[in-house]
Structure formats: C-alpha cells, structure tokens
Amino acid sequence: MTTHQVGYLIGSLAKHSINRKLAQALVQLAPPQLQMREISFKDLPLYSYDYDADYPAVARTFKEAIASVDAILFVTPEYNRSIPGGLKNAIDWASRPYGKNSFSRKPSAVIGTSPGSIGTAVAQQSLRSVLSFCDSPQMNAPEAYIQFSTGLITDDGEVTVGSTQEFLRNYMSEFATFIARVLQVLPRDA
C-alpha cells in the first residue's frame, strides 16, 4: 500500500469554524494510506505580481508546502456565493508567478459545510473553476455538500451521526483511490 501526503487547506480563518471541525473529522476518517497535514495560509499578505521577483519568506514557505504534498484537499465555507477571499489569495500565491504553479498536475478534492440546505455547493463550483485553470485534476465524485447542524461534529472532530460519518469515510476512501489513479498517470517526478 502506497502512502500519499495530503495537504489540506481550510477556507475559513476563524478559529472555531465549522469547516475546521469538518477538516478534523476528515483527518480522523481518512484511510491509513493518506497522511494528512494542514497547510495554513493565515499569515500571507495580499498577493500582487510585484512580489513575483522576490517572494516573501512566508509565501515561499507556503508555496513549498503545497509543492511538497501529493494532493490537496480543500475544506471551504461559502462566503457570498463564492470562496473566502483568504483562500483565493492563498491559491493566487501558490499558482504564481507564471510557470511556477504549485497546483499543476496535483490531485485535489473539494468539500465544505454550511448551515444552509445546499451546503457549500456554489462556493465549491467557484473553487472548481479556479482549480481547473490551475491545472489541478479534481475528484468530481462523490460530491460533498454537508449541511451543518449543531452537534453534527464535536470540537474534537467526532462525527455524531452515523450516516454522515460513513459518507465522509467513503469520501476520503474515494479520494485515496483518486489520488492513486492520478499519480499513476501523472507521476510527481515527471
């Protein structure tokens, strides 16, 4: 069994975000072949191409963290029918300057939770558009729009509803299979 390093980005910068809870649950439910680690972007300045000739240290470290993993999992809320500005800023840093896109050929998946009945469906579609431009192969199924309710996921990342727990476990298993398929066709060292 091959082990894959998976970086995950939590779209919300809030310490008590329900998407942070979801990310903790996904880490716990991931199959053993996925080694999960958060890649934080909270300290990044706003991106400008003025930095392209000399990235600040925090941006270099972030870009290197993206480049060092085999795949990326995005766990994002929906803000105004799109992704949070901080997440978009992070993607801009990692995908620039031109020709040095850290997402190119890197498998990705998108998931999120919201109290709304359609979860984060519109934000996910917005993010998928950005990831397509960034040349990141995306797991398109299963889709995962999680409607959050109080107590669904504890502060420790435990999913309290059996059917949701099983769905999320299956989602992570499918992501592991997707990563293996993509990396077989598009190996990292190519």
Q: Is residue 107 part of a domain?
A: yes
Nearest 5°: phi and psi at 157? 90, 15
Query: Is pLDDT above 80 for 48?
Result: yes
Scanning the structure block, which residue is given the tokens 């709304």?
Answer: 116
State yes or no: pLDDT of 189 exceeds 80.
Answer: no
**111-149 pLDDT, tens digit each:** 999 999 898 999 999 999 999 999 999 999 999 999 999
Ramachandran angles phi, psi of 108, nearest 5°: -140, 160
| pLDDT band with cut points at 50, 70 and 90 for residue 187 | confident
The pLDDT tens digits for 87-108 are 999 999 999 999 999 999 999 9
Range of the domain at 175: 4-185
pLDDT higher than threshold 60 for residue 190: no
Answer yes or no: is 48 within a domain: yes
pLDDT in tens, 54-64: 999 999 999 99
CATH number at residue 148: 3.40.50.360
pLDDT class of 1 with cuts at 50, 70, 90: confident
- The H-assigned helical ranges of 11-120 are 18-29, 57-68, 85-95
Q: Give 62's DSSP letter.
A: H
Whole-angstrom distance, CA of residue 96 vs CA of residue 98: 5
Question: By the 8 A CB rule, do 11 and 84 touch?
Answer: yes
Tell me whether residue 78 is in a domain. Answer: yes
Give the torsion sign (CA, 25, 27, 28, 34): positive
The pLDDT of 1-26, averaged and rounded, is: 96
Q: Is the pLDDT of residue 155 over 80?
A: yes
Q: Is 60 inside any structural domain?
A: yes
Average pLDDT, the chain: 96
What total of structural domains would you count in the chain? 1
Residue 190 lies in a domain: no
